[in-house]
Structure 1
């Protein structure tokens, strides 16, 4: 089943995108900063910003998702 139609999978994809974009922005800030006003690439910059500002909540969500995966 596609991740778009399964809510649990959709949450995993969004959480992984947040974590990935935050990591890329931490390692190479200029890579995402140059595209922050450009459509699709701007969405990645926004995800990185959310990941940076809400990092305790994102990390708790990652831990909960990992526990949920181990129990399934």
Structure 2
């Protein structure tokens, strides 16, 4: 089943995208900062969400990991 049709898989993909973009921006900020608009701007926006809402993103990642490990 595709991640688009399964809500839990879609949430997992979105959380992984946010965490990955925030990590890449921490290592190489210029790579994401030059693409603030357009299609590649989605990655910059995900990095900003990961930086500014990091406690909530971390709790969401922990909750998703627990749900995948114990209830899937």
TM (norm. structure 1) is 0.95
Which structure 1 residue ranges, 5 or more long, are not aligned?
Answer: none
Secondary structure of 2:63's counterpart equals helix
Secondary structure of 1:5's counterpart equals coil
Do residues 28 (structure 1) and 28 (structure 2) align?
Answer: yes
Whole-Å separation in 1 of the counterparts to 2:64 and 2:8: 9
Aligned pairs, how many? 71
Q: Counterpart of 1:57? A: 56
Whole-Å separation in 2 of the counterparts to 1:7 and 1:68: 13
Measured on the aligned residues, the alpha-carbon RMSD in Å equals: 0.6
Whole-Å separation in 1 of the counterparts to 2:25 and 2:40: 12
Which structure 2 residue ranges, 5 or more long, are not aligned?
Answer: none
TM (norm. structure 2) is 0.95
Whole-Å separation in 1 of the counterparts to 2:12 and 2:50: 14
- What's the CA shift string for 1:14-49, capped at 9, x where partnerless? 000000000000110000001112x11101000000
Structure 1 stretches of 4+ moved >3 Å: none
